[in-house]
Structure formats: structure tokens, C-alpha cells
Chains A and B, each alone.
Chain A
């Protein structure tokens, strides 16, 4: 059965290394655009976005086009899903179009895993509920490698709403496979104790200053208001205790970098000063999104 990419948890370190290595080949140089490689001409990639995300969807679309593949994008509002048709029915319709791969974003955790049990078409998970977002973790790893040259032995702090973050879970799985020292930090309600046992090398910290101490990488997460079903803390209070500000950067390593998967809430989880600083890798992350997704799609399409 052809393999897609459902998550980082289930893949091996050497597979991750191969993807990251291939992604490097796709990175544009200087002011150039992404090279068109056309290794996947004639393949059809269907992007199924049951949850809105212009950024991720465009990134996958550009990646597929750079590989020479055809793309078809379907968003939930324009599909029959909203008319009460089941996920299985929708996908069966699509499979009749014989795509080479399906890229899927869905609000329910495990939705791509559920489908992969009923389909033979490989599925690339573009974010499932509060579970995983594997290509985001890969592009984050590519970004860290570009700047730090290695993953082993780094100290990485992930800060914010860990409980509801698929970005956090995928990053934790990926970085743990490389022996990274991981510190997770957030208010207790958004950082369940069980997170410490998701992977090896993870510690929990409820104090932002202690979390960023000596960090090589600081990953900020978006406060996902739409997923928080009970009031956590007032916005001002959140920023006071968990918002990353310039004063915190003095505690981290001098060459520390700051990352954010976007979209950012300035003044809620990160100050503009930090977001726009030299240490901010936010735009590099976006750019690496395309090269990493080219590497992932090529791997899935050419197997």
C-alpha cells in the first residue's frame, strides 16, 4: 500500500533526515524563486481543506506545482461536506478521480488516520485537529538546521497553548527523535501533565523565564481561542505571564532564534519587538514550508 505522511510520531529518524536533506536542494538561492523541477509531471494532488488555512493550502499548492504535478483544491465551504455528506462519501467521490495523493486538513484529530484505513490513496496530513501537523515540524526542523547547523543537544522551549497544538505535538515527536532537550511551557490548563510523557527528553515548566533560560530555540504557539472551550485567563494576564518580550531574550543563549507557526497575535503571545527582531525566523519558516512540502510530496508521488 502506498505510504503517505500521517504524522511524525510514526516515522523513523532517517526518513526525516532524507526529507530535510531533499528539502535543502529545493531551497531558493539569493533573491530567486523556487526552481521548477517537474519530477512529478502528470500526477494529480488533491488538496482537501475541511478547515480553513490559506497559508498552508497555498504552500502545498505551490509545492505541487513546482514539482510539475496538477493540483485540485477543495475547501469545506465549497464541498459537499457542508451538506451533510459523510467524509467517506466525499472521499470516495474524489478517489474516483484517481488522484496520486490527497493532502488533507481537518478539524478532527485522527481524520486522516480514519480515512487511510478506508482508502489506498496516500494521504498527507496537513493538520488534524489537535493531533499533528507533520510538515510544520519538518519545516521548523529545516529552519533550525539552516541557522544552528544541528538538532542534537539543542535546548528548545515551546511556549503557549500546548494542549490544543498540533504544531507542538509534531515538533515534540520530531525533536525528541534527535535528542533535543525540550521544555514545554504554558498555563497549567493548557499544559496537561501527560505532555511530559509524550516523548523522551521533555520537561514541563510553568514559568516563562525559567523555560527560556539558555534556550537555543524558542517556539511560540498561537493562542487558539477557537479551541479553548473554557476561559483560560484574560488576554492581558496571558501576555503578562506567557507573552515573549525582549527582556526574555536576554535569558536565552545569545544566538537564540525565535519561531512562530503563524498567524501571530502580536501583543497576546509575542511582542512586535521580538517578532520583528533579527532573531525572528518567522519568514524563513514560511519559505521553508514550500521546499519541505516539495520534498514530502515528491517522496509520496514517486514511490
Chain B
């Protein structure tokens, strides 16, 4: 089984490669990168004029299966991911039942193996039922294929419990991913606490609810020496604290979502649930700080926090509908617009934010090594056009849900081909 991708602009941030070249995938692994590779016995794809990158990795998605299959399944979520150029996703454990045991972890791994077009790695819960009280079967879930732990959707409010989780994770050499929100400070809130929330009569979620948890966790990360990762960072103070922790040599990382770099409260259509998510869209100065953090490297990678909710659930009064938006299919378009076309970062740097950087956060090694076009690495490749204009119409989404504020938006550049283990799993119309 050989696949040769010819004549594309091959960009691999990990190896520093950036030149027109061919990429050969053999038996599911990268076999070679270079000009004029032999076509003999290989299926050939012409990628002239396109960018050929390592397969994109999203370490923060919600696939809703088991338990909420009306909103998304592992199969449909993986299809949407493939359409967004992602070859690997890590799914959060807030399913029903919660992924807090080997049984659920194995169910996700098995279902993904049978039905998912791309690689799906489960993230195990930190605590049983994600209730924040008693540690889940962390070691067994990792042995069964989970790659990190998180109670995403909820924070671990009890500092002693998160300390014990960090000690466990440190011993297993996996990251702890925390959804940073002090529930007492954010209680009842529906949007960012600011002039707009007060004017609209909606209860606010103050920036402080994120800041105090990031501060607490960094202190405990120092105490335990764990690899600690901040999910969906959204405030100016949190970014500053992560930057400071890095400066001090702590193993602290963070991710930003496309919506937190592209939208602030001023973009919200009043009471439109497509703008309701956690953390909420923040003020302009927070968005600037998050973008600056991505540019400076204080923030390590980008993620979607793809959070599907079925139409009926989102079609409600703002203060009653659930938090979260989908994002797999728009991630590349949005981040090209905000970061690359604006001149803030280079194209190779953007690719790093979706490949080598998230791979480093999780720490994939040996036969799982991914995120680079290096011989021996998994044969996952994302081919995209960096500039062509297209309009995102959520009606054509491969996700089961359509909760997004980006529908109807025009992007410059997007995915063309998604290749997993040397197999084309998705291609753009007309290519």
C-alpha cells in the first residue's frame, strides 16, 4: 500500500521542511519526504498549488457518544473532523455514562475503530461521574487507550482532589486538562460579565472565575510536577499566568479555541444561542491577550472545543439553552483569517499549532508518534489550500448539529484532502 502526494508545498514545522516536494506513505506510515520520489507501485495524488502538512490534531472535541447520539456520534463527529482537515481528535469524557471507566473507554476506542474515518483518542474523566469527589480509574483507562484526563464541562472544585489527580497523572506521564471555572463565581451566568451582560439583563460569568482556577492549578502543578494543560483559555489574566508559569520552567500548557481568538462580546447577536459557550466570549482586551498569547507562544496550540447540541436544545431562550458550539469544519478557515492573513504569524507556525504542538501537549511517542512528516510517524496528512475563497454553510455540515456563529461566513483557504494512515478519508467537492 503506497500513496504518493506529489508537488505540493510540504510544510512540516517539526522538521523545518518548507519546500515543494513529494510525500510518500507506505503501509500507513510516512516513508519519505523529498523531491522527485519514485511513483512505482504508488497511487499518486497531484497537490500542485496546495499545502501538504502533517495531519491536523484537535485535542479538545465532544463527540457525544455514548448517551447523546441525537446531537453527534463518534462516526458523524469523525466525518466532520475529516472535513475540517483533522486526522486525530481527542474526545472529552462528558458523555452518558461519563467516560470514567475502562468499559466506556473501550467502547469509544472500539466504536471509533469500526466507524470513525479518523483517529479518535478518548480522554478519561478525572473523577467518578466527573463529580469532582472521588478519583476515576485513571490508570486502567490510560491502559485501555485514553491519552489524558479531564472533567471538561466542569472544573474539579476540590483542591485536594485535583492535587491527587495531578500526582497520579504525573506518575503515568499524562497531562491533566482542566476546564478552569470557579463554579461559585460563575453560578447562574450565561455570558461574560461586562457592560453588555448588565444591559441585556443576563447574569454574568466574570473573568475572575477562570483566573482564580488557573492560579490555583498552577500552584498545584508546581507542587506535583504534573504536565498541566489549560483548556480553552479566554482571559487576559489567565494568559499572563500561563506565560509566567512557563517562564518559571513549570510544565504548563494551554490551548485557545477559534471562537476565543475571533469573537468578542461585541460580535454577539443579542440572545442568539449560537454565541453561548463556556468560557463565554470575552471582551476585546481579553481576545487581544489570547491572540497575543498564541503569537508569543504562551498559548501552545489551537483546539475547537467542538460541542454539538441538537437543534431543539439550542432553539430556546438564551438563559435556558446549553453552552457550546461546533467548530471542526471552520477551525482552519477562522485561524487562517485571524492569524495568518492578518500577518500575525506565518503559515508554518499555524500548522505547528494544529500538529506538532498539540502532539507535544499529549506526548504521543513511539508507534503513536504523530504531528510531523517524519519517516516512521503515522501516515496522516492534511492537504489544504491557503487562500481560495469559500462560504461555510452549516446546512452542508457533516456534524449532526448546526450550532455555530460562523455559518454564512466567507473564508480564504480551507481543507482539500484528509489522509489517514495513507488512505484518503475526505476530499473537497471538485477536487
Contact = CB atoms under 8 A, between A and B. Distances in A.
Contact of B199 (A108, A111, A169): A169
B340 interface: no
A241 interface: no
A198 B200 CA distance: 10
B424 to A, nearest CB: 40
Nearest to A106: B317
Interface of A: 9, 86-88, 106, 108-111, 113-114, 117, 128-132, 163, 166, 169, 192, 194-195, 197-198, 229
B270 A87 contact: no
Contacts of B344: none
Given A169-B199, A197-B195, A113 B271 contact: yes
B202 interface: yes
Contacts of B271: 109-111, 113-114
B188 A109 contact: no
A113 B270 CA distance: 8
Per DSSP, chain B at the interface is: loop
A215 B272 CA distance: 39
Given A169-B199, A198-B195, A198-B199, A87 B317 contact: yes
B200 to A, nearest CB: 6
B198 interface: yes
A109 B198 contact: no
B128 to A, nearest CB: 28
A110 B188 contact: no
A110 B312 CA distance: 18
Contacts of B202: 109-110, 130-131
Given A198-B195, A198-B199, 11 more contacts: A9-B199, A108-B319, A108-B320, A109-B201, A109-B202, A110-B201, A114-B316, A163-B198, A169-B201, A194-B193, A229-B188
Contact of A129 (B194, B197, B319): B319
Contacts of A163: 198
Contacts of B194: 194
Nearest to A114: B271
B236 to A, nearest CB: 18
Nearest to A162: B198
A192 B317 contact: no
17 contacts: A87-B316, A106-B317, A108-B318, A108-B319, A109-B200, A109-B202, A109-B318, A113-B270, A113-B271, A114-B318, A117-B272, A128-B201, A131-B202, A132-B201, A195-B198, A198-B199, A229-B187
A192 B316 contact: no
A110 B270 contact: yes
B315 interface: yes
B319 A192 contact: no
A194 B188 CA distance: 18
Interface centre among B187, B202, B317, B320 (most CB of A within 10 A): B317
Contact of A86 (B188, B270, B272, B315): B315
